[in-house]
Amino acid sequence: MVSIVKKQKAQPPNEEADRLPNPIGRRLRQLRKEQDWTLADVSKRTGISVGTLSKLEHGKTDLNFSSVNKLATGLGLAVTDLTNPSSHMMGRRAITIGGHGVMFNTTDVDYEVLCSEVANHRQGYLKGVVNSFTFDDSLPWHRHQGQEFLYVLSGGLELYTELYEPVLLNAGDSILFDSSMGHHYVSVGPNPAEILISMSLEGYQNVSDTFRPMKREKDERD
């Protein structure tokens, strides 16, 4: 008896990647194809498990900013090369539809990456919601090389720094400071403050310091 095997219609090579909702996963798959890397190769370079990388490429998980930074560093890329699949293009216009930027969380702020397809990778643009209402001196300071510009979109915000007394900023207020100086954000009032940040990306080495040890251990297990 001869069995007939029905041939499946071949899918275009990039069709699955084009359906991926996660731009980082889509960009990772594109990079692997360009460099002929396996998931094991990427895992060895970045310290992120093969399982997590596979889930990322298939849109089944997201990375926090600590892991995104680890992935970018391991692959020798700027963070924005991962958050934007078309970062190699030289366009100078960038649009982010509200709520559609890459999201990541720290212990005190939920962030959305804005306008990451701009070819200049020296500057990052973020919208943040500050969920902390008290200053926790047991947490390590946020710090990174360069400068940071912060604008308060709504609510009240106290900016704590290593060298100065806390400063109160309300909606419409802004500040520019040396971001290598340790800093923390704390919301003031009944609702979380919403902020807009522009910061230097070069030398952004200490992202993982902003996470609680418990959060870091969970990420490593994942």
pLDDT digits (tens, 9 = 90+) for 91-141: 456 778 888 788 888 888 998 888 776 544 567 888 999 999 999 888 888
Asked if residue 206 and residue 110 are part of one domain, the reply reads yes
Number of domains in the chain: 2
pLDDT at residue 214 tops 70: no
Q: What is the average pLDDT across 2-23?
A: 47
Asked if residue 201 and residue 136 are part of one domain, the reply reads yes
Residue 151 CA to residue 125 CA, distance in Å, equals: 11
pLDDT in tens, 52-71: 999 988 888 887 777 888 88
How high does pLDDT run on average in the chain? 77
Asked if residue 159 and residue 72 are part of one domain, the reply reads no
- Residue 209: the pLDDT is 33
Asked if residue 114 and residue 217 are part of one domain, the reply reads yes
123-130, strands of its sheet edge to edge: 103-105, 109-114, 123-130, 193-200, 147-154, 174-178
Asked if residue 199 and residue 126 are part of one domain, the reply reads yes
Residue 207 CA to residue 198 CA, distance in Å, equals: 16
Task: Supply 3's token pair.
Answer: 């069995």
Residue 91 CA to residue 178 CA, distance in Å, equals: 29
Q: What is the DSSP string of 73-133?
A: HHHT--HHHHH-TTTTS--------TT-SPEEE-SSEEEEEE-TT-S-TTEEEEEEEE---
In sequence order, which residues have a C-beta less than 8 Å from that of residue 218 and are 6 or more positions away?
Answer: none
- Residue 70: the pLDDT is 85
Residue 8 CA to residue 31 CA, distance in Å, equals: 27
- Residue 118: the pLDDT is 58
In which domain, by residue range, is 146 found?
103-221
- Residue 148: the pLDDT is 92
Last residue of a domain, one of 83, 116, 141: 83
pTM of the model: 0.54
Q: What is the average pLDDT across 150-169?
A: 96
- Residue 213: the pLDDT is 34
Residue 122 CA to residue 105 CA, distance in Å, equals: 21
Q: What is the average pLDDT across 136-156?
A: 90
- Residue 69: the pLDDT is 80
Asked if residue 108 and residue 63 are part of one domain, the reply reads no
Q: Do the Cβ atoms of 124 and 177 come closer than 8 Å?
A: no
Q: Do the Cβ atoms of 151 and 170 come closer than 8 Å?
A: no
Asked whether residue 141 is assigned to any structural domain, the reply reads yes
Would residue 47 be called left, alpha or beta, if left means φ above 0 and alpha means ψ between -120 and 50 degrees? Answer: left
pLDDT at residue 43 tops 50: yes
Q: What's the CATH number where 60 sits?
A: 1.10.260.40
Query: Of 113, 140, 131, which is closest to residue 23 (Cα–Cα)?
Result: 113
pLDDT at residue 217 tops 90: no
pLDDT at residue 81 tops 80: no
Asked if residue 110 and residue 70 are part of one domain, the reply reads no
- Residue 181: the pLDDT is 92
